[in-house]
Structure 1
Amino acid sequence: YYSFLALSGEKFQGMCALYAFMRVTDDLGDEPGESQEEREASLHRWQSELQRLATERLDSHPVWPALHETIKRFGVPIEFLSSVIDGVRMDLHPVEMGTFPELERYCYHVAGVVGFCCLRIWGTNSPEADRLAVDCGLAFQLTNILRDLKEDSGLGRVYLPAEDLERFGYSKRELQEGIRGESFRELMRFEVGRAREYYQSAEGLEAHLADDSKPVLRTMLRIYRGILDEIERRDYDVFSGRIRLSAWAKSQIVMSELVRSRWRW
């Protein structure tokens, strides 16, 4: 949410509503103490209510009124939001990705379509911007995957493609046991490098945005890139504790981008 501080007025409210929806959706898929069937039922009810939101205002959850207003104001398509729920539903089962294209498809649902929604709120709608938004979402999701390797593997979710593990001689068992030898470091160097390529592509998205929306994109890119930098600084040790930027570091990024936007440098 720190990056949203670079926005003002209706766009800020729209982004808050969008990410509140994302947070609730993600929580429904990971609800502690619930069975897989119960989580599936919760997501089904959530998706059904979302479909109703296209034509009526709902008050059954605090997120719905704000999201309804965001959909009306910015023309965010319901199918984009529904696709996010489909992506979270994929996580209800043990996850293993065989190839990178499989991982790309997953990331499209949980991150790429979120980028489409953001573009509508930011006031941009073009095929090229959509393509770059997919790259941006992929960069963010790859960063999340690398950061959360320990937590996800404990839940039976291995997002790193099997073809990558095989290429660098690193096994699923080693991942689950948190073994961090040279093969793991080589694997992580490769994955971090891949993520950085998508960040570089995502930089082109700024040219498609209105001036008042550029700071939020730059802020998000810097915060997520900062996580990658920290992963590298720790020599790829993502097993000892969750890697994150401090609130102070994120607030400094927000302030610097607001100043940059103000003075156009």
Structure 2
Amino acid sequence: MTAQDIQTHNEPTPLGCDPADLAWVENTVRQAGTSFASGMKILPPMRRYGMFAIYAFCRVVDDIADGNAPLATRTQELNEWHARIARLYGAQSVPQPEPLERVLLATINFFALRQEDFTAVIDGMMMDTQTVIVAPDEATLDQYCDRVASAVGRLSVRIFGECSDDGDKVAYHLGRALQLTNILRDIPEDAARGRLYLPSDLLDRFDVPRDAIKALDAPGLEGVCRVLAARAQDHFRTAFATMKTCRGRAMLPARIMGASYEAILKALCKRGWSAAVLRQRPSTTLLDKARWFSLSYLP
């Protein structure tokens, strides 16, 4: 995507941004190959580029947290993003703003996004940076899910056009459903980084070691993951039910994203979490996603 592709026939550009800046955030989304892209593409230009900016922001801070730079460097870079966000909301100007900051500023102003949600996302990345998360307690796991997923949802629903308390409730439950699904899908990859996001009380209940590598071969891992999968399914169910109290068109992208991830959760449950299959990536089809999208409208 180029700036020329975005601005044609002298039409005003989305969010009043420079076409080159818009092309930058869009290309960030394209290069990431995110499964959320389908939910973004159906949005009208203003909302679509707003979501591209949110995703690009999340991608940048996540790459910092997961990068190979020394801890001090990653911490400094995340703290700098705290300062950048504060400047976008403050009266002071941003020195030499980058394309992402310029589009974020336009998005923040147009959709009245809340600073605390950006702060929460960065704090979630800090959790991954400052300590290696292994067998967290329930409160820590829930806080992590809220920061890295539900906070993104709270930003997203406002861009979708739903600024109500029910919109925030959708973000609360759908964010947790998506993040728990990620955790259940990525257990081997997380273990390779020394991470184990499964909660300590469930590990203890099923006699699974509180060790990222040893947990992979534990017979009780299946039981832990089944309980967590049921929890994720409950969050999906509540999120979809709450969407019915919101504006239907505003919730369409959230339904698409939710259905895509619910299909992944169902595929994981079908595959299971035994040591023999744990490293097999679950596959989903467009038909699977369409099925769960349709079912999301049912009572």
Alignment-derived partner of residue 241 in structure 2: 204
Gaps of 5+ in 1: none
Choose the corresponding residue for 2:262, options 199, 209, 225: 225
Aligned CA-pair RMSD: 2.7
Alignment-derived partner of residue 91 in structure 1: 128
Deviation per residue, 1:71-117 (Å, 9 max, x gap):
01100012211110011001011113442222111111111211111
Choose the corresponding residue for 1:190, options 227, 252, 255: 227
How many Å separate the matches in 2 of 1:179 and 1:210?
A: 43
Choose the corresponding residue for 1:44, options 61, 79, 92: 79
Gaps of 5+ in 2: 1-36
Choose the corresponding residue for 1:15, options 40, 51, 71: 51
**Larger RCO (CA within 8 A; separation ≥ 6):** 1
Deviation per residue, 1:115-142 (Å, 9 max, x gap):
1111211222222332332111111110
- The list of structure 1 runs, each at least 4 consecutive aligned residues, that deviate by more than 6 angstroms after superposition, is none
Q: What aligned pairs does 1:1-265 form with structure 2 within 5 A after superposition?
A: 1-32=37-68, 34-55=69-90, 56=93, 60-92=97-129, 93-173=131-211, 175-177=212-214, 179-180=216-217, 182-236=219-273, 239-243=278-282, 245=284, 249=285, 253=289
Deviation per residue, 1:205-238 (Å, 9 max, x gap):
3224333323211101111111112212222267
How many Å separate the matches in 1 of 2:237 and 2:243?
A: 11
Q: Which amino acid aligns with 1:37?
A: A
| TM-score normalised by length of structure 2 | 0.77
Alignment-derived partner of residue 23 in structure 2: none
How many Å separate the matches in 1 of 2:51 and 2:95?
A: 19
The structure that has the greater radius of gyration is 2
Q: Which amino acid aligns with 1:40?
A: T
Q: Which amino acid aligns with 1:50?
A: I
How many Å separate the matches in 2 of 1:243 and 1:60?
A: 41
How many Å separate the matches in 1 of 2:41 and 2:117?
A: 24
How many Å separate the matches in 2 of 1:213 and 1:90?
A: 31
SS in 2 for 1:236: coil
Name which of structure 1's ranges 219-228 and 7-16 shifts more when overlaid on structure 2: 7-16
SS in 2 for 1:240: coil
Give the count of matched residue pairs.
Answer: 255
Cα distance, 1:13 vs. partner? Answer: 1.3
Q: Which amino acid aligns with 1:44?
A: N
SS in 2 for 1:124: coil
Cα distance, 1:14 vs. partner? Answer: 1.1
